Amino acid sequence: VVRPAAVIARLDARALATARAARGFMPDEEGLALAGAALTAPRPGPWLEVGSYCGRSTAYLGAAAVGCGTTLVTVDHHRGSEENQPGEQYHDTDLVDDAGRVDTLPGLRRTLRDAGLERTVVAIVGPSPTVAAIWATPLSFLFLDGGHSPAVQHGDFDSWSPHLRRGGLLAIHDVFPDPRDGGRPPYEIYLRALDSGDFGEVSATGSLRVLRRR
């Protein structure tokens, strides 16, 4: 585990500033923990994130990827999760296209441009399981923060975790052991990873958990 001040010293300053200002769902403490974990992933990568939204966590990770010389791939269909749809708690009326559908891709592009990460981060637009089904490159860091429904979370764990190489790191967001704090699926896949015996826990920061593949 790398301490926050030591993490900041190793992050690209422009990308970090952009991450901190970006729209999204990653508190700074967790963003630094995420970036700090990625710094300890086996070289050379690549790293992959599921759930780009407008690029907040992407920019934290990208800020670490710059110094490591690795590529970060970020996957999202950019149509929002259930809670982002019109009328739901996390709907943002700024993030719709000319047909009124949720569209977070322009937000991601803006974040990557402002962060200076357009050569470090590759954005893939599409459903996560469809992308995973054609993926073949071993990953050294995997961050799961896509849809939070049971089917999507378990599907992401099933389809992406086999691509993580030995010694690689798995980060999961919104892990809440107490049901009063949040939804179950991220906690369930965290338990599945531990119960499989294939992963050991490395760190816990807020709702972020980082595990290492044995």
Question: Which residues of the shown chain bind ligand SAM in the complex (CB under 6 A)?
Answer: 24-26, 51, 53, 56-57, 75-81, 104, 127-128, 145-147, 152
3-state secondary structure the chain: CCCHHHHHHHCCHHHHHHHHHCCCCCCHHHHHHHHHHHHCCCCCCCEEEECCCCCHHHHHHHHHHHHHCCCEEEEECCCCCHHHCCCCCCCCCCCECCCCCECCHHHHHHHHHHHCCCCCEEEEECCHHHHHHCCCCCEEEEEECCCCCHHHHHHHHHHHHHHEEEEEEEEECCCCCCCCCCCCHHHHHHHHHHHCCCEEEEEEECCEEEEEEC
For ligand SAM, give the closer residue by CB, 26 or 115.
26
Minimal distance, residue 78 CB to ligand SAM, in Å: 6
148 counts as catalytic: yes
Point out the residue whose Cβ comes nearest to ligand SAM.
24
CB of 59 to ligand SAM, least distance (A): 9
Nearer residue to ligand SAM within complex by CB, 24 or 168: 24
Task: Name the residue nearer to ligand SAM (CB basis): 152 or 164.
Answer: 152
Name the residue nearer to ligand SAM (CB basis): 110 or 198: 110
> Smallest gap, in angstroms, from Cβ of residue 75 to ligand SAM?
6
Catalytic residue among 77, 78, 91, 148: 148
Catalytic residue numbers, as ranges: 148
